[in-house]
Amino acid sequence: MSLKLVELQVALPRTQDAGKLSEQLQKQNQYHQDLLAAVGLKQEELKRKRISETEELQKMHLKKENKSDQDDKKENELKSEDNDERLMHPYLGNHIDFNG
């Protein structure tokens, strides 16, 4: 298969164009890969933030529950102390009069 001079004149510029196109495609593919990697990193960072935020919210919720439980216990203790004070009056209820 021999190429004539005229065919070579047509074939050589086309190979250069094909080389440029393949180079552009490779650069474009590399750009897309870099873009996807950057998007993946951003999504991973957002997931980490969400996880840490939910953990913080859970901790705060637990603290509030513990505080409310402690407040309830204190209120119950105060009520029981009030009831004990009512029951332990110094002279009321200590002497019962059966002669009445």
pLDDT tens-digit map of 19-69: 888 999 999 999 999 999 999 999 999 999 998 889 899 999 999 888 888
Q: pTM above 0.85?
A: no
Query: CA-based angle 16:20:26, to the nearest 5?
Result: 145
CA–centroid distance for 87 within its chain: 54
Q: What is the DSSP letter of 88?
A: T
